[in-house]
Structure 1
C-alpha cells in the first residue's frame, strides 16, 4: 500500500474523530444552550429539528457540488466551518445568533458527513478490503471524547464559549493541515472541462432511487434505533426501570463504548464472513437489545440491552454507505458512487428526525416498553435487505477480497 493511501486513510480517520467531538459537544450541552439563550421548552424542539433538516439540505447540495469540485475540497472547507459554527453557538447572546450558528452548523455538517463517507468508500475501493468501519470507529471515539469534555465543562460550570474555545483552537488547524492528505477516487475529475469531467457528470446523474431504496430504508431504520437510544435511554431507565438519576446517565455511555468496540472489530468480521453476514448479525443483535430493554425487570438488565444495541447497530450504517457506494460504482461508474452516498446520507437525518418523536408519541399513547418494540421490528426488517450488501464482481467483504492494491485512489494534491 502506498504512502499516499496510508496518509489519506489516517487524515480521513482524524476528520471522523474531529466530527465526533464537535457533534457530541453540541448535543450533550443542549440544556446549557437552552439556559444561555432563554429558549422555552416549546421552542426548543424547533431548534433541534432545524439542524438535521438543514444537514439534509447540505447533503443534497453537496451532491450537486461534487460534480464540479472534488469531495476532498468540500470536506477541507466544510469541517472548519462546522467548528467555527460550534464556537458561534457558545459565543452568541441573542436567539437570532444561535439560530444563525445552528443553521450554518447544520448545512456544513450535511456536506461534511457526505464527503467524509465519499472519501471513505473510495479509499476502501483503493485498498480492496473493508476499512469503512474503522472510520466510523474513529467517529465513535470522538463522540466519547466530546461527551467527556462536555461533562468536564458542566462539572466545572464553564461557559459554553470557554468549553468550546480550546477544542476549536486545537482541532481547527489540525483538520486543516490534515486535509492536505485526503485522497479522492479520481483526482483528475476537476482538472478542467473535457470528456472526463463530462462523463463524471453523466454517471452521477444516472443513479436511480430504485437502486438505493434498500439502503435508504436500512439507513433510516438504523438511525431510528440510534436516536431512540440517544434520546430515551436515560428517561427509560429512570422512569420505567426505576433507576437513580445518576445511573440513568450510564446507558448512553455504555452504548457509545460498545459502538466503538463493535466498529473497531467490524472490518475484521466483514473480511472474514462478508458484509451481508455482518449486517444480518448486527440486525439480530440490535433487535435482541431492544427486546431485552422492553422486557427488562430492572435497570441492570436494561443496561445489558443497551449494550447489545451498541454492538448490533454500530455495524449497519458504515456498511450501508459502503454497499451503496459499491453498487453505484459497479452499475454507473465512480462518479455515481459519490452521488449515491450524498443521497443516502439524507436518510441518516430522516431516521434521526423520526426516531425520537415516534418513540415519545407511542410511549405517551401506549407504553414505553411497547414503544421499544417498534424500532426492534424496524431493525429486523433490515434482514429482508441484507442480500443487497453482498459484494459484486470485486467480491469485497465476501470472503474473496482482492489483494491489497494501490492503483485506484489518487491524492487530492495530484500525487
Structure 2
C-alpha cells in the first residue's frame, strides 16, 4: 500500500526516520561517554548528578517552549534548526576544558534536545494520522538503531582510547549534513492532513467511522476543539513517566546490578544494556505490524506484562545469565509504550496534537529524573533486588490506563486496516 501513497508522504516518513536515527546516535554518544566527560572536566562524583539532572530539566523547558513556538512556526522548522545545534553542542563539550564550558554546552544540549524530541514526535504523530495506520513504532525503531550505532562508536573510542573531540567531531560532520538533507522532505501537519490522492483517498474512512466503543475520555477530548484538557492527557503522562522510570532503571543500573548483585564479570556486566537496546529495536521494528493486526490496546497491555515479567526475572535471578533474560524481556516490553503513548495523544487531541505531544514529552524527562535516584536510594536502604520491584509496579500501573490508548471518535484509519484495529494510528 505504501507505493499507492503520495510521494511526499513516503519521503516525509523516510526523512523523519533519518532524524530519529540521528538523535538516537547523538544521545548514545553523550550518555555512554559520561565517565570520559567527567574526567576531562574534573567533575567530582558529588557534582556529577547536578550536571546530569540539569540536562532533562532543561529538556523539559525546551519541550514547553516548543509548544509555544510551533504556534508561530511549523514543527519542521524547529526540528530543522535544533537538530544541528544538538550535535554542535557535543562538539563544544568535547573541545572545552573549563567547568563553565561543560555547564553551557550541556545546558544548550538539554534545551535543544527537548525541542528536538517534541518536534520529531509532533511530525511523527501527524504523519501517522495521514498514513491512517501505525507507523510510530518504526520511527522509534530508527532511534533505537541510532542508539546502537552511537553506543558502538563510543565503545570503540573507549577501547582504542580515542579522545572526545576525535569522536564527536567526525560524528557531527556526518550527522549534521545527513539531518539537514533529510529536513528538505519533512511534512508538517497542515501539509499531511490535506486531501489524500489516489487509492488512499478512495479507502479513507469518514470521521467517526471506527470499530468498537471509544473511551469516554476520548469523546470528551474530541468535543473540545483545538484545546488540550490536562485531566484527559494525565493518564498518558503517567504512562510516559512510568515507562521512562523503567528505561532509566535499565540504562543506569543494569551493569551495576549484574556485577554487584548477580556477581558477573566486569566484561559481562556491559552486555545487558546492549541486549536491551537490541530488543527495543526488534520490538519496535515488529511493533507496528502488531498494532495493525491486534490494535493499540492489546499491544500496550502485552508490552506492559512483558516488562513486568522482565523486572520480576531480574529481581529473582540466581545468576547473571538469568538476569540477562530479564533485561531481554524488558527491552521487548518497554519499547512499545512510549511510541504508542505519543500516538494515543495524537488520537485524543486531533485538533491540538502538537500541544498534546509537547506537554506529554515533558513527562519523558520526569521519568528519567525520577527513575535512577529512586532505584539507587531503594537499593541503598533496602536491596537492589527489592528495588527492581518498584519500577515493575509502576510500569504495571499502565494496565490501569490501557483504555486511553483506544480509538478516538476522530478516527483516521483507512480501509486497508483490519476492521478490529480501525483507528490504530
Fold shared per TM-score above 0.5:
yes
Task: Supply the distance in 2 between the matched residues of 1:305 and 1:399 (Cα, whole angstroms).
Answer: 32
The correspondence of residues 5-44 of structure 1 with structure 2, limited to 5 A, is 5-44=9-48
In the TM superposition, what is the alpha-carbon distance from 1:187 to its structure 2 partner? 4.3
Residue 399 (structure 1) shift: 2.8
* Equivalence for 1:389: 405
1:44, 1:163 → 2: CA distance?
Answer: 22
* 1:133 aligned residue: 137
3-state SS, counterpart of residue 399 of structure 1: helix
Does the 8 A contact of 1:119 with 1:185 survive in 2?
yes
Q: Per-residue deviation at 1:173?
A: 1.0
> 2:204 maps to what in 1?
none
Q: Distance in 2 between matches of 1:112 and 1:214?
A: 24
**C-alpha separation in 2, matches of 1:149 and 1:203:** 46
Aligned Cα RMSD in Å? 1.6
Partner of residue 123 from structure 2, selected from 110, 119, 123: 119
Distance 1:346 1:395 in 2: 26
Structure 1: which 5+ residue stretches go unaligned?
Answer: 190-201, 405-415
CA spacing shift, 1:229–1:403, aligned 2, 3 Å: closer
CA offsets, 1:155-210, max 9 Å, x none?
11111001111110011111111101000010499xxxxxxxxxxxx965x21111
User: 1:395 Cα deviation (Å)?
Assistant: 6.6
Which residue does 1:160 correspond to in 2?
164
Q: 2:342 and 2:95 mapped to 1: Cα distance?
A: 35
Task: List alignment gaps of at least 5 residues for structure 2.
Answer: 194-223
The aligned residue for residue 310 of structure 1 is: 331
Task: Detail structure 1 runs of 4+ shifted over 2 Å in the superposition.
Answer: 395-404
Shift of 1:401: 3.4
Q: 2:56 aligned with 1:52, yes or no?
A: yes
- In structure 2, the residue matched to 1:363 is 379
1:250-289 to structure 2, matched below 5 A, reads 250-289=271-310
TM-aligned CA deviation for residue 35 of structure 1: 0.4
Map Cα deviations across residues 87-135 of structure 1 (whole Å, 9 max, x no partner): 1111111110111100110000000000000000000000000000000
SS of residue in 1 equivalent to 2:420: coil
Q: 1:340 aligns with which of 346, 349, 356?
A: 356
Structure-2 separation of matches of 1:6 and 1:181: 9
Report the secondary structure of 1:183's partner residue. coil
Do 2:296 and 2:424's aligned partners in 1 also have CA atoms closer than 8 Å? no
In 1, Cα distance between equivalents of 2:281 and 2:240: 19
Show CA shifts across 1:195-250 (max 9, x none).
xxxxxxx965x211111001000000000000000000000000000100000000
Output the CA distance in 2 between the equivalents of 1:2 and 1:358: 47
The aligned residue for residue 374 of structure 1 is 390
Asked if structure 2 preserves the Cα contact closer than 8 Å seen for 1:221 and 1:351, the reply is yes
Does the 8 Å CA contact 1:70/1:187 hold for their aligned counterparts?
A: no
What SS does the corresponding residue of 1:67 show, helix, strand or coil? coil
Normalised TM-score (structure 1): 0.91
